[in-house]
């Protein structure tokens, strides 16, 4: 009976992760910015290499993990920024999603103190399967557990699809933000037109500020807010990052239209060109009794490899260290 409950819980968690959101979404953090808005490519003022590891629902043995790699920089010859990213989601040992993409952002000075970036992303999404350890519904005996051989044969063949996204960012004084639409092609992972396997378009809106605290300009407050909407699933939040040259502490609250209220806290430490960051997200209020309290652990490294000369064609965005 315990194994049956465990299977049902895992099924619900996987569906909530892969269907409601259509993909594993890191949320509002700027550590994985290229997956949310291609117009951010090269906008931070240096060549940045980012590495991240995410563990979903930690401490529950659900075996849901994600790793992420990206690089972005400004290129004078392109009059803008360019980037690439690679992401792998390992979901429960049965599903393996690999995404990779390239982005370009054109930088434009639209006024004396207004800068606009327009970005475009091209990506490939591959979904693969391993059913060697899977349990199908017809294998379950409600009294004896998993005992029956399955009459259903699952084919492990995967599918690769093409995708696109676009976005814009702006910087004006202390305020920066943007809007992006991902999955413009609405790729079908099933190849058979199954509605639940179509990755729906995702709208992402973000705003952040940059304020010096005191006259010394050694401590900064960087508020942030965001909204994400994808196939009837809406999540929004807001928070603050307080930062010095070497240390940042942040917290952000978020809620969705399923009745969940979550809190995400974290910190980052910088030494030379290397920044280490850690984030923990947990559930405060849930619309479903099966939702665990621990939602996400994320650790990562960022390397500022070099500074670039952006002349007057663009302005650096100081991303909150989320």
* CATH number, residue 90: 2.40.160.40
Going by C-beta distance under 8 Å and a sequence separation of 6 or more, which residues neighbour residue 37?
Answer: 119, 167, 169, 178, 179, 180, 204, 206
Q: Determine, yes or no, domain membership for 202.
A: yes
Q: Determine, yes or no, domain membership for 39.
A: yes
State the number of CA atoms in the 13 A half-sphere of 163 facing the CB.
28
| Residue 148: per-residue pLDDT | 52
Query: Which candidate, 93, 33, 85, 101, places its Cα nearest to that of 63?
Result: 93
| Residue 10: per-residue pLDDT | 40
Q: Determine, yes or no, domain membership for 318.
A: no
| Residue 18: per-residue pLDDT | 39
List the pLDDT tens digit at each of the 322 positions of the chain: 334 344 333 443 443 443 343 566 667 777 888 888 999 999 887 789 999 999 988 887 778 889 999 999 999 888 999 999 999 988 776 778 889 999 999 999 888 889 999 999 999 998 887 766 665 555 555 555 555 555 445 555 678 899 999 999 999 999 999 999 999 999 887 766 566 678 899 999 999 999 998 877 789 999 999 999 998 899 999 999 999 999 999 999 999 998 999 999 999 999 999 999 999 999 999 877 777 888 999 999 999 987 766 555 567 788 888 7
Q: Determine, yes or no, domain membership for 289.
A: yes
| Residue 12: per-residue pLDDT | 39
| Residue 1: per-residue pLDDT | 39
| Residue 169: per-residue pLDDT | 95
Q: Determine, yes or no, domain membership for 221.
A: yes
Domain of 217, in residue numbers? 2-307
| Residue 7: per-residue pLDDT | 37
Domain count, the chain: 1
Burial degree of 130 (CB within 10 A; 0-12, 13-18, 19+): middle
Tokens found for residue 117: 């970036």
Going by C-beta distance under 8 Å and a sequence separation of 6 or more, which residues neighbour residue 61?
Answer: none
| Residue 128: per-residue pLDDT | 80
Q: Determine, yes or no, domain membership for 322.
A: no
DSSP 230-269: ETTEEEEEEEEEEE-SSEEEEEEEEEETTS-EEEEEEEEE
The label of the residue with tokens 């993990």 reads 65
Handedness of CA 245, 179, 198, 18 (dihedral sign): positive
Q: Determine, yes or no, domain membership for 190.
A: yes
State the number of CA atoms in the 13 A half-sphere of 18 facing the CB.
21
Q: Determine, yes or no, domain membership for 315.
A: no
């Amino acid at each position: 009976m315990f194994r049956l409950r465990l299977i049902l819980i895992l099924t619900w968690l996987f569906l909530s992760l892969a269907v409601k959101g259509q993909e594993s979404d890191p949320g509002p953090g700027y550590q994985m910015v290229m997956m949310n808005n291609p117009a951010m490519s090269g906008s931070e003022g240096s060549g940045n290499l980012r590495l991240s590891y995410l563990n979903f629902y930690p401490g529950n043995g659900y075996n849901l993990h994600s790793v992420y790699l990206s690089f972005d920089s400004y290129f004078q010859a392109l009059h803008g920024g360019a980037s690439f990213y690679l992401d792998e989601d390992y979901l429960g040992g049965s599903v393996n999603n690999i995404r990779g993409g390239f982005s370009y952002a054109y930088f434009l000075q639209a006024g004396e103190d207004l800068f606009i970036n327009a970005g475009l992303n091209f990506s490939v999404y591959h979904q693969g399967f391993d059913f060697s350890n899977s349990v199908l519904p017809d294998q379950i005996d409600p009294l004896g557990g998993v005992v029956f051989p399955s009459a259903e044969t699952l084919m492990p063949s995967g599918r690769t699809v093409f995708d696109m996204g676009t976005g814009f960012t702006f910087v004006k004084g202390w305020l920066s933000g943007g809007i992006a639409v991902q999955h413009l092609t609405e790729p079908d992972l099933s190849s058979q037109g199954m509605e639940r396997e179509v990755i729906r378009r995702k709208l992402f809106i973000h705003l952040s500020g940059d304020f010096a605290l005191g006259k010394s300009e050694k401590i900064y407050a960087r508020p942030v807010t965001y909204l994400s909407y994808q196939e009837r699933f809406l999540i929004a939040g807001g928070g603050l990052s307080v930062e010095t040259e070497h240390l940042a502490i942040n917290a952000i609250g978020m809620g969705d239209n399923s009745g969940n209220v979550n809190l995400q806290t974290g910190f980052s430490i910088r030494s030379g060109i290397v920044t280490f960051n850690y984030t923990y997200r947990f559930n405060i209020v849930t619309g479903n009794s099966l939702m665990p309290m621990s939602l996400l652990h994320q650790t990562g490294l960022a390397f500022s490899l070099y500074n670039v000369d952006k002349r007057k064609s663009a302005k650096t965005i100081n991303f909150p260290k989320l």
